[in-house]
Chains A and B, each alone.
Chain A
Amino acid sequence: MATCTGCSLLCEDIEAALENGALSHVKNLCRKGHGHFQAAFTERTVPMIDGQQVDLDRAIAKAAEILRNARSPLLYGWSNSTLEAQAAGIKLAEKLGATIDDTSSFCQGILMERILSGKIPTCTLDDVRNYADTSIFWGSDPSSSHPRHLSRFSYYPRGEKRQKSYEEERTCIAVDVRKSATAKLCSNYYFRVAPGGDGEFLEAILAVLDGKIPRVGDKKKMIEFGSILKKTEWGAIFPGLGMIYSLQDKMELFERLLAKLNEITTFKVIPMVGHYNMRGFNELMREKTGFINRVSFKGGARAHGPEHSVVAAARTCDAALVIGSDPLSALPFGTARALARLPLIAIDPRRSMTTDAAKVVIPSALSGLEAGGTAARMDGVRIKFEPIIDTQLLSDEQIITRIMEAI
């Protein structure tokens, strides 16, 4: 049994057959995971300095030299690394007095902070399977982003209290700006919002729950939505990036909705994390520093704030180490350009925009396939996995430890 690290569901029931070191036949792996596993066999990186291939020891020594000479280095990425590598990374940041940030800074961070601090109630995905009778996908499309979400947890499986499952007992609701693949599955309960209109939609639901007539949107549909929410015994909301980017500073509204819903019935929230171990990094950082991301250890202090996010730090730092992420293709152009001007150190198993622009490239083993470790699923359950392919490559954790030793 292998574990897939293609998304934050960390499916553990993968049966992989190997032949001559390559995957010949895989069972139970979704299309996304299959692509992720196959990626291990194309476009792998080699150790490089300034585009010239060198041996691994020189690349690590050069990376250590860049970080040692930098006044305020930035360590960014981490969401596609194991918990062990992240822990080593936080230690490295402390030692260097560096700024450390992960992809949640530009992703689910704003919601994750509220989840981890207990402001918004949460549960595990197994609870969702066992008890949930209403699942709401808000600004997320699990059919495309987490293909096995519906079939493993949120809609189709038969749980302890939900033996009749999707046929009779479960309702699946999609709130989105377009009719996504998931919205097609819950066609009766698809609520369309205008881009950026999630705040108004939330206010409308709050009005309906208070017994008032909503001012915006289709009044009849909103009242129908309200009555489904009220009838729910045990509900789960899965907010995606669509909702979080749309709400931005109006997250209090969502908190208010959850408080209101929990007066009537039970509602829990699990954020739809993209990268397989983003939540792990947030949990580790919270344990160590009290903040989930955007921390600067400069001068031995622990400063937190928007000025230490990757967006701002890309412009103020003078060197950057990028691991388990491809910020040059994922982040907005201005930030990507600022990052590309810096001396970059990229640790990645595969070629990406970032490794192409980097000064030093260090290849790593693909976790889940070539390297073992522990990772936190989107609901916080820690999952331990073992490698299934033997490799000479170092894991993320070993690379970070070696850089630290060299410094």
Chain B
Amino acid sequence: MALEEPFDSRTMKRFAQAINIIDSYLSQIEVLVMVGAMEIYMLLPKTNCKKCGLPTCMAFAVGLLGREKKIDECTPLIEEKKYEAKLKKLREVMAPLENASETGLIIHPEKCFGCGNCVVACPVNVAAEPTRSAVGLGPESEKVILRVEDGVVVANNLKECRRFGPNKTLCNACTATCPSKAIEFV
């Protein structure tokens, strides 16, 4: 098949350069939404005052990330003026975690392709609908956790999720199969 004008090596080189530039921009755009325990720790007073009931500030940071503790429980951070900037930053980084569900699931609908990889990969979906979800078709029943509606993924029945409750397992079938990082766990 003849293209209009065959590409010469110089055009090809420019092509390669353009792709590299686009790639570097794309990698910059992908900002990590999720914060880590270390990042939270850096924004705490780091005095290990034990006022929150935990032995260290690091333990409190882990508690915050697991949503067992609240920012307000760290009284020095709230009361003392010198931590004001840190408190503001902490509330900023913790904001996306507030939308998380009981299992820590966060869905970013604006990033979702609606491809349904998570719907087909989710082990609970597969067990609930072995003739549909498991073989790639859209689920029919209400028992499934993930389904695609209006072009994006939505979550229901989170009680069935393997990450629910105290005996949870750290299943990551839905996050690992997402091409656009539209699903995350806290």
Contacts and interface: CB of A to CB of B under 8 A. Distances in A.
B115 A151 contact: yes
Interface stretch (A50-58, A176-184, A296-304): A176-184
A181 B180 contact: yes
B19 A178 contact: yes
Interface in B19-76: 19, 22-23
Nearest to B27: A179
B122 to A, nearest CB: 10
B7 to A, nearest CB: 7
Contact of B136 (A109, A110, A129, A334): A129
Interface in B105-139: 112-117, 119-121, 126, 132, 134-139
Interface string B70-112: 0000000000000000000000000000000000000000001
A181 B182 CA distance: 12
Interface string A338-378: 00000000000000000000000000000000000000000
Contacts of B137: 13, 28, 152
A143 interface: yes
B117 A30 contact: no
A121 interface: no
Interface string A98-110: 0000000110011
A329 interface: no
Nearest to B134: A158
B151 interface: yes
A332 B151 contact: no
Contacts of B179: 143, 181-182, 184-185
A59 interface: no
Interface in A1-54: 13-15, 25-35
A245 B136 CA distance: 31
Interface residues of B, number: 38
Contacts of A181: 113, 179-180
Contacts of B136: 129, 148, 151-153, 156-157
Contact of A143 (B6, B23, B113): B113
Interface string A125-165: 00001000000000000011001101111011111000000
A105 B6 CA distance: 16
Given A151-B117, A181-B179, A25 B112 contact: no
A293 to B, nearest CB: 10
B180 A179 contact: no
Given A129-B136, A156-B136, A27 B148 contact: yes
A31 B114 contact: yes
A340 B53 CA distance: 75
B1 A248 contact: yes
A133 to B, nearest CB: 16
A301 B1 CA distance: 23
B152 interface: yes
A311 interface: yes
B3 interface: yes
Among B119, B121, B152, B179, max chain A CB count under 10 A is at B179
A177 B4 CA distance: 22
Contact of A245 (B3, B16, B117): B3
Nearest to B133: A157
Contact of A30 (B1, B12, B115, B132): B115
B4 A31 contact: no
A196 interface: yes
Contacts of A177: 16, 19
B12 A195 contact: yes
B4 A335 contact: yes
Interface centre among A15, A153, A195, A334 (most CB of B within 10 A): A195
Contacts of A143: 113, 115, 179-180
Given A13-B138, A109-B1, A157-B135, A31 B15 contact: no
Nearest to A24: B150
A290 interface: no
B165 to A, nearest CB: 24
Given A156-B120, A184-B179, A28 B138 contact: yes
A334 B16 contact: no
A109 B3 CA distance: 12
Interface string A225-266: 000000000000000000011001000000000000000000
Contacts of B3: 245, 248, 332
Interface of B: 1-4, 6-7, 12, 15-16, 19, 22-23, 112-117, 119-121, 126, 132, 134-139, 147-152, 177, 179-180
Enumerate the 6 nearest inter-chain pairs by beta-carbon distance, A residue then B residue, closest first: A28-B138, A34-B151, A157-B136, A30-B114, A152-B136, A31-B114
18 contacts: A25-B149, A28-B138, A29-B114, A30-B113, A31-B152, A34-B114, A106-B1, A151-B115, A153-B136, A156-B121, A157-B120, A177-B16, A185-B117, A185-B177, A194-B16, A195-B19, A196-B12, A244-B1
